[in-house]
Amino acid sequence: MSVSYLGLDDLPGYLYEQHGITGAIGTPLTRGTVAVYHRGAEKRRRDGAPRPGDFPPPDRKYGRSPVWLPETIDQWVENRPGRGAGGGRPPKQT
């Protein structure tokens, strides 16, 4: 029996890899940023502590490479918290 593996060049055009997401969402995210978002969200899901706005789990994997449907990424973009949502340092009281 022969096993055939799909390479990333063989992905259907409707699936996004990490570097494909960066250009698709119209936001200046680098491939590295997407990878960090994905790793952090995966760790929180494994630890049982996911956060609202976390990067979605992959819809599929080709080998070890996660891929997402455009609808999944579109939904994440629409629901992700905006700039400053984490609160940050409170302003100085004078």
Report if residue 28 sits inside a domain: yes
Q: Decide which of 1 and 58 is more confident.
A: 58
Report if residue 6 sits inside a domain: no
Which are the contacts of 2, defined by CB distance < 8 A and separation ≥ 6?
none
Structure pTM?
0.69
The average pLDDT across 73-91 equals: 75
Report if residue 49 sits inside a domain: yes
Q: What is the distance between the alpha carbons of residues 54 and 74, in angstroms, rounded to a whole number?
A: 13
Report pLDDT for 27: 67
Report if residue 71 sits inside a domain: yes
Report if residue 90 sits inside a domain: no
Provide the residue range defining the domain that includes 68.
11-79
Q: Decide which of 93 and 46 is more confident.
A: 46
H helix intervals, 11-68: 18-24, 31-46
Overall domain count for the chain:
1
Using DSSP's 3-state secondary structure scheme, residue 43 falls into: helix
Lowest pLDDT segment from 20-24, 40-44, 67-71: 20-24
Q: What is the distance between the alpha carbons of residues 37 and 78, in angstroms, rounded to a whole number?
A: 16
Report if residue 2 sits inside a domain: no
H helix intervals, 25-69: 31-46
Q: What is the distance between the alpha carbons of residues 59 and 38, in angstroms, rounded to a whole number?
A: 12
Report if residue 34 sits inside a domain: yes
